[in-house]
A and B are shown apart, each in its own frame.
Chain A
Amino acid sequence: MNSPRATVSKILTYSIVDGPGNRLVIFLQGCNFDCTACHNPHTIGECNHCGDCVPACHADALSLVDGRIVFDPLTCDQCDDCLEVCPINANPMVRDYDVADILELARRHRPFLSGITVSGGEPTRQLGFVVALFEAIKSDEALAGLDCFIDSNGYLDRSGWESLLPVTDGVMLDIKSFDDAVHRELTGKENRKSLRSAQLLHEAGKLYELRFLLVPGVTDGDDELDGLIDFVAGLGGDVRVRLNAFQHHGVRPQALEWEKMPRAGVGKVAARLRGAGINNVVTPAVYL
């Protein structure tokens, strides 16, 4: 049988910020949003083998063979110059993994792991792979007890979630803006689908965390915060809300014009949410 494959930009065997406990995180390449504020913009695009990055590599780690980009991990020194020059925010260093590869990695690190998270990019774009991976984890004896999480922008319709949810333990869902116009401006897409996903996941008991990125002057205004408060109230019940702070690390030049979100600013927003009855508000511990 052919094991589904995925285009992976990075794998971490130690992560304490992608769900509960220590997690194996698989970052899948490619996103259906194009967020100005993205902290990993080189995970957005998918390589079209144009070859522009080949001459940018000082280590000769990249070449074009039969019209396709070939990457040599042994000569690469991780300078990331190739990411800078790619015109479409793709990454020539991605690797293809199949489900068996990931299972093998998870088994090797099993004692250290609380679970596995697929992130991105937008992982639900490689839905077949994620479903197959989670199914395989759930039926592997050596991996019993690992929970399966998804870090998503929510741009997936009901039928997509229906195929995922039976094997998914929790979803961390980002809402970029509660105002549709702002959302379009920030991401290039409407916010309706994401809001519906949040609703659906909450009803299914699988919304582990609702995430909201605070960008000063962009998403921290009264309207936006009231939108967040109303939305959470509308969901009903206990929702864990994680506030993230916009930072300059990794972002594209146009996002550098926005200010960084300071600790004090996040604290203020958190206090406001708590005051409005949202008890479970998590704020970042580290600011760069």
Chain B
Amino acid sequence: MQDMLSKLRSITNDATLNPAQKARYLSLEAENSLAYPSLDAETQRALDERVICDMYEGHAPYKPRYVLPDYSVVLRDGSDYLELPVPETLDEAINTLMIAYHHVPSVTGMPVYIGQLDELLLPFCEGVSDDALYEKIKLFWRYLDRTLPDAFMHANIGPSDNRVARAILRVDAELRQIAPNLTLLYDPQKSGDEILAIAGENIAACCKPHIANHPVHADAFDERGYGIVSCYNVLPLAGGASTLTRVNLKEVALRADDEAGFFADTLPHYLELNFRLTQARVDYLFDESGFFDSFLVNEGWVDRDRFTAMFGVFAMAEAVNLLQDTEGREGRYGFDEVANALGHRISAAIAEAIEARPLDKVWRGHALLHSQAGLSDDSEATPGVRIPYGTEPDPVTHVQALAPHHQYYDAGISEILTVDESVTNNPEALVQLCKGAFASGFREFTVNVASNDLVRVTGYMVRLSDIRKFRDQQGSRTNTTVLGAEAAEMTGILERKPRVVSNELSPGYGQ
């Protein structure tokens, strides 16, 4: 108790956090003083040893990790609960969204999904000039960054090429803000080369947007669609993910005698324990928390049946290299065909196990596999199935080494390709790399341009200049800078050839 009180005290007195950031950390401490949903002893031990992990989501899941509202509902019907009339003009539509966002919970307390913005706003754009549209989007963008300063917040545009998408790309490159994060859904049949070329120029300017392989994602979901949120999590629209749990493949490999034992026993064992952990957390959310009685469900923004459970894996690189060692093989992950193939086999085995293991109160009855990009306290564990920082080969070799994994990761997978600054003279190269990556089976294309102040920390952006300021104790307006600074210290991100990190969430204060 004394420990806890002194921790609360240090949060309240931390000069580098603003009041809202303090309130969030205080609430996390309070939640985590409650008992955990009950787990069997084996699962508990694996969790304590962090072979499996709950992302420190909190002891009492009272909201889903990610909520992807179908905002077309509130734009079409207004909201009784929020006392919002049906919007008729573009200003009213944007205003409705701005209000709506503040009522969408997530693990960070900020909305992670702000909608398929072009599709949502296009119906309101008739009679609005391009100049007016640009000005309105610009104000909207500034509002988002200043009031919801979290780079996990994610906007989607595409796959059609349209006025709203173009206005957003123009504003985004001009303002170079951390928030919101942005993904262009690309479909070679629908999008056309022009918008992809604009996206290439934007990436050269500010490392945004990500580009998503729309046909592949669309195939993995249903008519109601999907959304891309946070760091490349791909989830059912009008639903989301109840929880994200993850397996540290390095820790699993450390507990295996050899490759055969890994596949026959160790891996299946820990996958099963992670299923149990997932089910316990989902049960609490559905059966105890009362979340699904909220207006979001009652008004049809989300559907109770459309929440998946994300099954994350990470430290593939370390796992493969450990197994290579036990088998007396020298080849390293990312560089050697045998090592790469072993990695692909691990992904396939996990996907198969997920297919074979039903879960209750989960969309389609099974979890969705996700290549998990890390936490700020992961050290010596490479995010997802990525190649370790600072050792990545050139982008083409990089894509070719990892592409075969992508087919298995319906809930999202991303690699960060590092491209040097010369590309600012040649953004066309980014377009070609993207096409090559998609033709090879990549689900997502993300680039970090070496010289940019805005850099990626897994899926979110931080400003290097902000990290420097934060370290100098001046505090940061944006939540992700705190994570970026932690990640920079813990995981050696700035060592990455250019410099990028990976991690998705800060577990709590001082961790």
Contacts and interface: CB of A to CB of B under 8 A. Distances in A.
Given A14-B395, A109-B396, A112-B396, A285 B435 contact: no
Nearest to A19: B426
Given A13-B396, A14-B394, A109-B396, A114 B429 contact: yes
A21 B396 contact: no
Secondary structure class of chain A's binding surface, majority of residues: loop
B395 A17 contact: no
Contacts of B437: 112
B436 A285 contact: no
B436 A111 contact: yes
B397 A14 contact: yes
Given A21-B429, A285-B424, A112 B419 contact: no
B421 A285 contact: yes
A17 B419 CA distance: 12
Given A284-B422, A285-B421, A286-B422, A16 B429 contact: yes
A32 interface: no
Nearest to B420: A286
A110 to B, nearest CB: 8
B162 interface: no
Secondary structure class of chain B's binding surface, majority of residues: helix
Interface string A97-118: 0000000000001011110000
A22 B424 contact: no
B436 A16 contact: no
- Please classify how large the interface on chain A is, using the bins under 10, 10 to 19, 20 to 34, 35 or more: 10 to 19
Contact of A286 (B397, B421, B428): B421
A20 interface: yes
A22 B396 contact: yes
B439 interface: yes
A82 to B, nearest CB: 24
A113 B428 CA distance: 11
Interface string A8-27: 00000110110011100000
Interface in B401-438: 419-426, 428-429, 431-433, 435-437
B13 to A, nearest CB: 45
A172 B208 CA distance: 31
A109 B440 CA distance: 10
Interface string B444-464: 000000010000000000000
Nearest to B428: A21
Nearest to A17: B422
B51 interface: no
A235 interface: no
A22 B399 CA distance: 14
Contacts of B423: 16, 285
B474 to A, nearest CB: 29
Interface in B379-397: 394-397
Given A22-B432, A285-B421, A286-B421, A111 B440 contact: yes
Contacts of A285: 420-425, 451
A111 B439 contact: yes
Contacts of A16: 419-420, 422-423, 426, 429
A68 B432 CA distance: 41
Contacts of A112: 396, 399, 432-433, 435-437
Nearest to A23: B429
A39 B197 CA distance: 32
A22 B451 contact: no
Contacts of A111: 435-436, 439-440
A267 B432 CA distance: 29
A253 B399 CA distance: 38
Interface string B163-177: 000000000000000
17 contacts: A13-B394, A13-B397, A14-B395, A16-B422, A17-B422, A17-B425, A20-B426, A21-B426, A22-B432, A109-B436, A112-B396, A114-B428, A284-B422, A284-B425, A285-B421, A286-B421, A286-B422
The 6 closest A-B pairs by CB, nearest first: A112-B436, A111-B439, A111-B436, A16-B429, A285-B421, A14-B394
Given A14-B396, A112-B437, 7 more contacts: A17-B426, A20-B426, A22-B396, A22-B429, A114-B428, A282-B425, A286-B420
Interface of A: 13-14, 16-17, 20-22, 109, 111-114, 282, 284-286
